[in-house]
Structure 1
Amino acid sequence: MTPTETERASLIQRAVTVLEYVAESGGSAARDIASATDLPLPTVYRIAQELVQVGYLVHLREEKRFALGYKLHKLGARLHEDLGVPRELKQEIARLHADTKMAAYLAIHRGADFVVVFVADSPECPRLEPMEFGFHETPHATAFGKLGLSEYTTEQRRSYLEPHQPHRLTPSTITDPDRLDEALREIAAEGIAWEHEEFQVGTACAAVPIRADDGLLIGSVAVSAPVSWYAGQRRHIEHRLRACASRAGRVYRLGHRPR
């Protein structure tokens, strides 16, 4: 990056940091934002005022705090429209949960990024705690993310991961580039991603891709459960996942393809 590009990226990152903190806190005073984000107070004021001008924040003067602006609702509504889950797909994921007795997921992929758009789980086998609806920054440690990374060439993959700096979430997380490349080549060849205690200790996941007619990865179906639940069941789980992904692919090919 040139110095100008680096400065612009830094400004954007700081603006996003302010937005995310305001969202998490439910609205905050500038001093609280500065304290929580380690940004200088004048910088917070400047960023917040600029975000107010474009509608991403509002200034609640009487309460002396900033809150999320209504323009974000429009962006969120458009994202939900793009990622809308047809009823047939919700039924497929619910069936996968019933068949495997494991938490079942549907994710939409955009390159190596993914968003979990539907989950079927139960008190006996709940979803992974951090696996809420939204994008994630640990593709190297999740079955979903590994599917996306396996679509890339080695050069593309390392270029993508460079700014993300893969880090160890558990003792089993693969962070070595060569080991990760080897694992991803195996996933690409077999068409299924297995993850054993790499995202959370004690839990394993498996994911199978959903592809468009042209072979493009557009989504995935997955399950998660305690490691012990997979004993003697791997073939059964793989069969159920592949069948579910095949049916989901047909739904998308009939006109419900995510954008």
Structure 2
Amino acid sequence: MEPERGREKPGVMPARPPMGRDNGGIQALDRAFLILDVIADAGGEAKLTEIAGIAGLNVSTCHHLISTLHNWGYVARGANGRSYVLGSRILHLSAACLRQVDLPRRAQSFVDRLSDQTREAVRLAIMQDTNLVNVLHREARHAVRVDAGLGGNSNAAHATATGKAILEWLPPTELDRIVADKGLTAFTPHTITDLEKLKEDLRLTRRNGFAIDREEFQLGVICLGAAIRDHAGAVVGSISVSSPVFRATPAYINQIKIDLIAAADELSTELGAPGAILRGSAKRVAAE
């Protein structure tokens, strides 16, 4: 019998989606996620028979599904050994979600500092699935400035320093998936629209420790970007500084690079990133 849905408490969780193959789902996954919901709704702990009854599953099927969730760390045995609780893997997913939501607040002081140091447009961006999303910005303080607004194109990761700073560290299959979904739109004559050339550019970005957009997204604008990492070393976003071409002398760009990398590394350190994976201090960058 199909369990009741859509009766969750208002403001706590959204209603569960329709289950089953007719709704485009995979039955085993539907049931596994339902089990996690049942345990959570029970206050974080429930017995096998209780879970099976609420989920509308026979006890044997429910036990097999819980065993798989247990192997992955999403479910654990209760203290008395007769019940099941949510596993530590749930905390890992929760922490990743919270870090993403919390990143703008954690990054604000670093964005403000870069804005003070460079007086140029500064922005913070994240990847949400295949979309590049700008979540925080500061306008340039010069009379002639470039736009750093939040209305950027979600399909411009390949053409922006914020996007390339993130793409450079993704697994090849994930990069291919993003490109397959978003394409390689030519925003200017300088935009890289060939996947192999983009991969080569990303290899250089990874080696240099920062990304650069040379009028690839907007004519007359050069932008530098650097990745932000969390406690596990995973890239959770990027920060960038944009400048009009006429101000972008080699010395000027080098100083922006020093300030940018210092800010990205210090923010990453605050998020718990291991020191060994960071690009190094501004002093080392200045010596290059």
Would you call these one fold, judging by a TM-score over 0.5? yes
Q: Distance in 1 between matches of 2:151 and 2:99?
A: 11
Q: Distance in 2 between matches of 1:233 and 1:81?
A: 32
SS in structure 2 at match of 1:201: coil
150, 158, 161: which is aligned to 1:132?
150
Preserved CA contact (<8 Å) 2:136 2:150: no
Preserved CA contact (<8 Å) 1:172 1:197: yes
1:68-217 equivalent positions in 2, closer than 5 A: 82-83=101-102, 85-86=104-105, 89-110=107-128, 113-122=131-140, 124=142, 126=145, 128=147, 131-132=149-150, 136-217=154-235
Preserved CA contact (<8 Å) 1:119 1:127: no
Q: Distance in 1 between matches of 2:228 and 2:99?
A: 19
The 3 A distance-change label for structure 1 pair 145 and 105 is same
1:244 corresponding residue in structure 2: 263
1:37 corresponding residue in structure 2: none
SS in structure 2 at match of 1:85: helix
Preserved CA contact (<8 Å) 1:212 1:249: yes
The percentage of aligned residue pairs carrying the same residue is 28
Deviation at 1:152, TM superposition (A): 2.7
The 3 A distance-change label for structure 1 pair 84 and 249 is closer
Deviation at 1:115, TM superposition (A): 2.4
Greater helix share, structure number = 1
The 3 A distance-change label for structure 1 pair 107 and 167 is closer
Q: Distance in 2 between matches of 1:222 and 1:246?
A: 13
For this pair of structures, how many residues does the alignment match? 178
SS in structure 2 at match of 1:106: strand
What's the RMSD between the two structures over aligned residues?
Answer: 3.0
- Paired AA for residue 234 in structure 1: I
Higher relative contact order (CA 8 A, sep 6+): 1
In the superposition, the TM-score normalised over structure 1's length comes to 0.60
Preserved CA contact (<8 Å) 1:112 1:148: no
The 3 A distance-change label for structure 1 pair 101 and 80 is same
SS in structure 1 at match of 2:263: helix
The 3 A distance-change label for structure 1 pair 154 and 251 is closer
Preserved CA contact (<8 Å) 1:106 1:118: yes
The 3 A distance-change label for structure 1 pair 111 and 214 is farther
SS in structure 1 at match of 2:191: coil
SS in structure 2 at match of 1:166: coil
SS in structure 1 at match of 2:232: coil
Q: Where do 5+ consecutive residues of structure 2 fail to align?
A: 1-20, 25-96, 274-288
Deviation at 1:176, TM superposition (A): 1.1
The 3 A distance-change label for structure 1 pair 127 and 228 is closer
Larger radius of gyration between Structure 1 and Structure 2: 2
Deviation at 1:235, TM superposition (A): 1.9
In the superposition, the TM-score normalised over structure 2's length comes to 0.54
- Paired AA for residue 82 in structure 1: V
